[in-house]
Chain A
Amino acid sequence: MFPPLPNPSTTETAPRFSEKDLIRRSASTVPAPEQQLTEVAKLIDVSKCIGCKACQTACIEWNDTHPEVGVFAGAFENPPDLTPDMFTLMRYSEWDNPETNELEWLIRKDGCMHCADPGCLKACPAPGAIVQYSNGIVDFVHENCIGCGYCIKGCPFNIPRISKVDHTAYKCTLCSDRVAVGQGPACAKACPTQAIVFGTKDEMKGWAAKRVEDLKSRGFANAGLYDPPGVGGTHVMYVLHHADQPELYSGLPKEPRISPLVEAWKGVTKYAGLTVLGVAAGVGLLHHLIMGPNRVTEADEERAEELTEGDSHARR
């Protein structure tokens, strides 16, 4: 068993990280932080999950969101998708394993992966609406958010959701407010089977290695850790029994990375675009300085008068 998270202390504690620890801030630059915090991570062991949704409930409770009472859509998912009020969602898929001929119930807790290279932050146009701390947490700052939905286009995992109430984007915060005072995320605290554990990224990798070894010994030859390098690794990781086929788990992407369309939009388009416009304005200015205005001359006016007079003579 992984050592459980301690209960909160009753004395006031100073936050362990703050603005000073930002390594990225959307649409702006930040000075390199003086210290590098230890990277944290949440490890979700899919093989241990019983699908009880305690984590979902704890998330609602801690973040004080108020999801609508839903309808039964014939599936275990409830609500059917992430919403601005539901930052994490248990997704259930049934899979006929062709090798064993057995039905497997693959349950995955969906939510923000806290990417080391976050596509949401790259896409965001509003200064400071998305921030990344040196401990790996990617957080949305609502008062800076303009509700444009660019983060949705940037995210390789389809995570952010825009609220129809305050028109800002919401997603899992990795309980940054709890982590700041030495607590783990609410979901990890609530999980009855320790399918969710929280600690430093190194600890989690070590713990995951043990879990993978155990799974392999039980016949899951392809068991492995999901920490996708395409986004620089994540601070929410999965232990999967079929790590060679992450898509089985309700479409977890096999090789997630920031879409090349987003890279082009946020990269070459910006620089080339501003250059083109600058050059166009510059050429205009230069042309005017060299050639001067194109003025109608007295002679032009006279020609026009002759032409129209010729006409009025003809009329007489």
Chain B
Amino acid sequence: MPADDLKPNEQIHPGKPVIVDRYTIGARINHWITAASLILLALSGLAMFHPSLFFLSGLFGGGQFTRFIHPWIGVVLFFSFLGLFLRFWKANLWRRDDGTWLARFRDVLANHEDNVPEVGKYNAGQKLVFWSMSVLIVILISSGLVAWDQYFSQYTTIDQKRLAILVHSIAAVAIIGVWIVHFYSAIWVRGTISAMTRGRVTGGWAWRHHRKWLRELVTRSSKGTGSSGQKPAK
């Protein structure tokens, strides 16, 4: 049952409270580069999205620089997210329990997590965030290149550019929406942020939100010493 693709770095440190390693320093740096680029992209993009938000271009030293830098940040985001994708895709593969979890999403929102199946490293919501960000970033970079007038204007027709910019703006709205969900979950579910800042969470957090993952880690560490016993925790 090494189901959930446990990573070697995910170690349990017994104690009070138990501490569980969740992300390596590499994964965290990778994550925060991605986060910073997405936020800068959202701000610079929104400046060009709607006149009422044009003032945001002031954050980038004016419209000309906003126009210049936005696509370059997009390139950074693309490669940075590619790194995250390669690190996390396996743990985000859809499993049967995810459907059940999603069907009982109301219970999750109502703080009744006991009614949903035990969750591995990621729950269905996180997986959806992961996959929608992956798809949207591919859409955004490809439509963005078509709209990148400074370097790529000669490769497409005007009608293709029109379609690209329309798709780009819709995908941008969608990814900002997904980001809002992501950000809100990170702050609503207390104890989560430390996963991405210090790389570790408490055992209680793992028990409450990712119990299957915790059990698997415990099993692995006991296996490591040749023991066969897996303790049901009740």
Q: Which A residues fall within an 8 A CB radius of B?
A: 27-28, 125-127, 144-150, 152-153, 158, 162, 167, 259, 261-262, 264-265, 269-270, 272-274, 276-277, 280-281, 284, 287-288, 291, 293-298, 300-312, 314-315
Contacts and interface: CB of A to CB of B under 8 A. Distances in A.
Contacts of A146: 48, 57, 62-64, 66-67
Contact of A310 (B63, B188, B231): B231
Contact of B166 (A261, A280, A284): A261
Looking at chain B, what size class is its interface with the partner chain? 35 or more
Nearest to B163: A261
Interface of B: 12, 14, 16-18, 47-51, 54, 57, 62-64, 66-68, 109-111, 113, 147, 149-150, 153, 158-159, 161-163, 165-166, 169-170, 173, 176-177, 180-181, 184, 187-191, 202-208, 214-215, 218, 221-222, 225, 227, 229, 231, 233
Contacts of A276: 173, 177
Given A27-B54, A149-B161, 13 more contacts: A126-B63, A146-B62, A147-B64, A149-B147, A149-B149, A294-B111, A296-B208, A297-B208, A300-B208, A305-B16, A306-B233, A308-B14, A310-B218
A143 to B, nearest CB: 10
B158 A27 contact: no
B233 A287 contact: no
Given A148-B67, A303-B204, A277 B162 contact: no
A259 B163 CA distance: 10
5 contacts: A153-B161, A295-B190, A304-B17, A311-B222, A311-B231
Nearest to B231: A310
B222 A147 contact: no
A277 B176 contact: yes
Given A277-B180, A315-B225, A152 B158 contact: yes
